[in-house]
Chains A and B, each alone.
Chain A
Amino acid sequence: MKSLEQIFADSLAINLNDISDALTYQSIPQWDSVAHMTLIAAVEDGYGIMLDTDDIIDMSSVGKAKAILQKYGVEIA
């Protein structure tokens, strides 16, 4: 299974080395509405979960994504 960082890198079309917990949406032009929905689809498919829409809206940084995924029982390495 892909790491969460790899999912972010693939979905936002940025280098894996640029992914950190501090990366926030709107901080880079690549993280726009369309990329956000690509990311959500990849996260749901990758972990076999279905996110609440409020969590989809709330997923505004890599760190926040990790916290949200914990609510769904996803263990992030």
Chain B
Amino acid sequence: MQSPLCFSRYGITLKELQRDEIEMVRQWRNDPKIAGLMLDQTHITEEMQKQWFERMSQSDCQYYFLAWFKDQPIGVASLINIDREQQTCEPGMYIYVDEYRNNVVPFCVAFALNDLAFEVFSLQTLYGKIFADNAASVRFHEACGYTKYSERADRLGLFSLTQPDYLIARNKISRFIRY
């Protein structure tokens, strides 16, 4: 059996999600403070979560991680729709623990995830989808170097990030991450 993927940077450790963690993650995901940020706001049942985990475990184009900070799981990070031919994927993340939601920690998680995507998975372009009215998420993605290349009729903004743009954006903020 392959050992779970584990990647540490910026004080964050991303550990591949394990079966005994999916109920905690389900409860986080269903919490209105997290569900309200999701494109899909469906309530997740225990059975749905188990089925999702089984599908995810069989796939080599999506990875879900628990984000650990100071020996505490604080959120979830993911790389989905990994296309190894096109060298693209869609990263996603949320921070559940309130004290880490609106400061430098979300950047630590995002940078660890992006480094993993660019350096370990050798991807070239990352994509994001954000509704235009989610101003905080738009600002966060732009601070990470994303640029909007299109917007759908339902006001879903389509963003992309290349490694050179990411490195420029990361360097402006990572100077404050002094671990």
Report which A residues bind B (CB closer than 8 A). 25-26, 29, 31-34, 36-37, 40-41, 50-53, 56-57, 59-60
B178 interfacial contact with A, CB 8 Å: yes
29 contacts between A and B (CB under 8 A): A25-B102, A25-B103, A26-B101, A29-B136, A31-B102, A32-B102, A33-B104, A33-B106, A34-B136, A34-B143, A36-B102, A37-B107, A37-B143, A37-B173, A37-B176, A40-B104, A40-B176, A50-B178, A52-B178, A53-B11, A53-B176, A53-B177, A53-B178, A53-B179, A56-B103, A56-B104, A56-B176, A57-B100, A57-B103
B158 at the interface (CB under 8 A from A): no
Name the A residues within 8 Å of B11 (CB-CB).
53
CB-CB under 8 A for A36 and B104, given A26-B98, A60-B99: yes
B139 contacts chain A at the CB level, 8 A cutoff: yes
Please give, as numbers and ranges, the residues of chain A lying within 8 Å of B178 by CB-CB distance: 50, 52-53
Closest 8 CB pairs of A and B: A32-B136, A34-B139, A53-B178, A36-B103, A34-B143, A33-B106, A57-B103, A56-B104
Assembled-state Cα–Cα distance A52/B11 (Å) = 13
Complex-state Cα separation, A36 to B140, whole angstroms: 11
A30 to chain B, nearest CB (A): 9
In the complex, chain B residues whose CB is within 8 Å of the CB of A26: 98, 101-102
Bound: A31/B179 CA distance, A: 24
Question: In whole Å, how far is B176's beta carbon from the nearest beta carbon of chain A?
Answer: 6
Q: How large is the interface on B (under 10, 10 to 19, 20 to 34, 35 or more residues)?
A: 20 to 34
Measured in the bound complex, the distance between the Cα atoms of B142 and A32 in whole Å is: 13
Q: Give the docked Cα–Cα distance between A61 and B140 (Å).
A: 21
Distance in Å from the Cβ of A49 to the closest Cβ of chain B? 12
In the complex, which residues of chain B have a beta carbon less than 8 angstroms from the beta carbon of A59? 103
CA distance in complex: A56, B108 (Å): 12
B131 vs chain A, min Cβ distance (A): 15
- Tell me the chain B residues, 91-116 only, with Cβ under 8 Å from chain A: 98-107
- Chain A contacts of B176 at CB under 8 A? 37, 40-41, 51, 53, 56
Across the interface, A32 reaches (CB within 8 A) one of B98, B100, B140, B173, namely B140
Contact B107 A33 (CB under 8 A): yes
B 133-179 contacts with A by CB, 8 A: 135-136, 139-140, 143, 173, 176-179
Say how far A33's CB is from chain B's closest CB, in angstroms.
5
